[in-house]
Amino acid sequence: MTPQRVFDGIFPFLLLFGVLVFAFGRSLGDAVRRRVQVSPLALPVAQFVLGIYGGYFGGAVGVMMMATWSVLTTTSINNMQASRHLLNASMNATASILFIVGGLLYWQHMAVLLVASTIGGYLAGTVGSRLDPAKARVFITCLNALIVALIFWRQFG
């Protein structure tokens, strides 16, 4: 229901926020945990908010999840992958049901996305579990920073 121009205006900033939190999430998380006790409820509450975000705008929700989890937990990137894929699938399934009920689904596009996301999820899970977490964090940060820079350039340049 959000007007397209509103979405177009906030979307680059949502992506930028995700990249920055992911890039600095581990050190930010360490600093937060040194100063305050992170409640066990913080992660489910944050994930609920991310679920709403993921249903509204699926772009970079996986990066947002890893960024949030980097701040709230000490789990390595490799250990985040299975949960991230499962929660991503749950968000997309829930959003898809709402889009179907609302008559807002383009079936041809959905079929392509279903096949591509299945293949991509399998490949990412297979490759991701073998990566060095520190190198993976640098690679993911650089790739996402490049994507965000291109989006800002296209949107505002």
Alpha helices in 57-132 (DSSP H): 61-72, 77-101, 107-128
Q: What is the pLDDT of residue 83?
A: 84
pLDDT average, residue stretch 7-25: 84
Q: Convert the pLDDT of each residue in 56-100 to its tens digit.
A: 777 678 878 888 888 888 888 778 878 888 888 888 788 788 888
CB atoms within 10 A of CB 22: 27
Q: In whole angstroms, what is the distance from residue 22 CA to residue 140 CA?
A: 9
- CA-angle at 52, arms to 6 and 112, nearest 5°: 80
pLDDT average, residue stretch 17-40: 84
Of 27, 34, 10, 73, nearest to 65 by C-alpha is 73
Q: In whole angstroms, what is the distance from residue 58 CA to residue 52 CA?
A: 9
Q: In whole angstroms, what is the distance from residue 25 CA to residue 71 CA?
A: 5
Q: What is the pLDDT of residue 109?
A: 87
Q: Convert the pLDDT of each residue in 89-140 to its tens digit.
A: 888 788 788 888 988 888 888 889 889 888 987 887 788 778 888 888 888 8
The residue extents of the domains of the chain are 4-156
Q: In whole angstroms, what is the distance from residue 144 CA to residue 70 CA?
A: 16
- The pTM score is 0.66
- The letter for the amino acid at 20 is L
* Contact status, residue 53 vs residue 95, Cβ threshold 8 Å: no
145: pLDDT confidence band, cut at 50, 70 and 90?
very high
Q: How far is CA 104 from CA 54, 99, 108, 132, in A?
A: 16, 5, 12, 41
Fill in the DSSP letter of residue 42.
Answer: H
Fill in the DSSP letter of residue 93.
Answer: H
